[in-house]
Structures are given as structure tokens and as C-alpha cells.
């Protein structure tokens, strides 16, 4: 992707990526994925400090490069997408930005992958939001082996974002399925 961005003489970009691609890039799970979920981008102030910025859509120059990569590698043209875009409008878990893991893919592309702890938060919420019977997010959550403390904090965060009864009940069911019945009772 970096090579395509260089060929297009695109400005350097830093993306924040979550989901399966982040799990794989950080060697947290060993499974295939079909896409890369862009959560937001990292911007730099004049003093060099960083801040996260929501992007309403994949920038045209980035989408063009992604389409070229898709054609080169036989991927779906939407392999780079804003799948979890709704999360960028929400309150991230405390310390989120400081836990991001940076990987440099060349002069035009840097990727900040979300940390294992934040994956637990996101995967718990995604599992609670899934249609019954779908298990990709739950399987990822199992593979992350969350501690009782981690899963309780993740559940509290999820309830802050969506306290609807269906989500609350789904969280209870997930916590019980993970073996955390005592935590489930708190919700």
C-alpha cells in the first residue's frame, strides 16, 4: 500500500486500525481476515504531538491506492474500509491513544494498531451487538483471554455507550458464556 501511495505522490498518512487486521498484525490471534477496519486517523500538531481525528470516509487518494492493491492481489475493492466508524464518535476507553501500537510501512503509511486491552473492549461490544449465532467477535474475545478485571471494565464501558436492555442482556449472556457469572450479575 505504501508503494502505491508513493507512486501517487500522496501525502503521508497515519491510520488507526482495529479488528481482525490489528489482532493479526500484533500476533494476538492467528486467523484470516478479509479487510482492514480503519477507525480514524492520527494527526500531528506543529509541536509534534498527536491527536486522533475521525474521518467521514476513506480519502479518495487512499481509496484509489487500495483499489490498485486489490487488483494487484485479487482482493475485494472494499478491503480497506470504515467498518467501525461509529466507534470514532464514541468515548474511547481511558488511555486508548497511549496504548496504540505504531508500525511504519514506509514514508507514506503508518498504522497505529489498537492494543489488546482495547480489542477486548471493542470485541465485547461487537459481540453484544452481533446477531445471535454469529461468532467471529466472540471467538476473538475468547482468544484474547480477558481477565475478570479486564472484562468487567470492558462491560462497564460498553454499558456507558449503550445501556439499552437488549445490549445489557447480551452482555450478561456473553459474560456468563465466558465464565464470569458473578460479573454478569452486576449488570
Closest CA to 174 of 31, 140, 97: 140
Cell of residue 171, nine digits: 452482555
Q: Which helix (H) or strand (E) holds 50?
A: strand 50-53
List, for residues 106-147, the tens digit of each pLDDT value: 999 999 999 999 999 999 999 998 765 567 899 999 999 999
Q: Structural domain boundaries of the chain?
A: 2-114, 117-184
Angstrom distance (rounded) from CA 153 to CA 155: 5
Average pLDDT over residues 42-70: 92
Dihedral angle sign, alpha carbons of residues 56, 61, 67, 69: negative
**Considering all CA atoms of the chain, what is the largest pairwise distance in Å, rounded to the nearest integer?**
56
Residue 131 sits at the vertex; the CA angle it makes with 128 and 137, to the nearest 5 degrees, is 55
Residues 6+ apart with CB under 8 A from 17: 25, 36, 37, 38, 39, 111, 112, 113, 114
Residues 6+ apart with CB under 8 A from 30: 24
pLDDT value at residue 136: 85
CB 113 within 8 A of CB 104: no
Angstrom distance (rounded) from CA 2 to CA 13: 10
List, for residues 59-79, the tens digit of each pLDDT value: 999 999 999 999 999 999 999
pLDDT value at residue 153: 97
> Is pTM beyond 0.75 here?
yes
pLDDT value at residue 132: 59
CB 88 within 8 A of CB 40: yes
Amino acid at each position: 500500500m505504501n508503494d502505491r501511495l508513493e507512486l501517487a505522490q500522496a501525502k503521508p498518512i497515519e491510520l488507526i486500525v482495529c479488528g481482525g487486521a490489528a489482532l493479526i498484525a500484533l500476533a494476538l490471534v492467528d486467523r484470516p481476515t478479509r479487510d482492514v477496519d480503519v477507525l480514524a486517523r492520527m494527526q500531528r500538531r506543529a509541536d509534534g504531538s498527536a491527536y486522533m481525528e475521525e474521518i467521514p470516509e476513506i480519502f479518495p487518494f487512499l481509496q484509489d491506492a487500495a483499489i490498485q492493491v486489490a487488483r494487484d492481489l485479487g482482493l475485494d475493492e472494499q478491503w480497506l474500509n470504515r467498518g467501525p466508524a461509529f466507534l470514532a464518535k464514541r468515548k474511547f476507553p481511558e488511555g486508548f491513544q497511549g496504548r496504540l501500537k505504531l508500525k511504519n510501512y514506509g514514508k507514506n503509511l503508518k498504522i497505529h494498531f489498537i492494543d489488546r486491552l482495547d480489542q477486548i473492549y471493542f470485541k465485547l461490544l461487537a459481540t453484544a451487538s452481533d446477531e445471535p449465532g454469529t461468532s467471529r467477535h466472540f471467538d476473538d474475545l475468547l482468544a484474547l483471554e480477558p481477565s475478570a478485571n479486564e472484562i468487567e471494565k470492558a462491560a462497564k464501558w460498553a454499558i456507558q455507550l449503550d445501556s439499552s436492555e437488549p445490549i445489557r442482556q447480551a452482555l450478561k449472556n456473553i459474560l456468563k458464556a465466558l465464565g464470569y457469572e458473578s460479573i454478569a450479575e452486576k449488570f
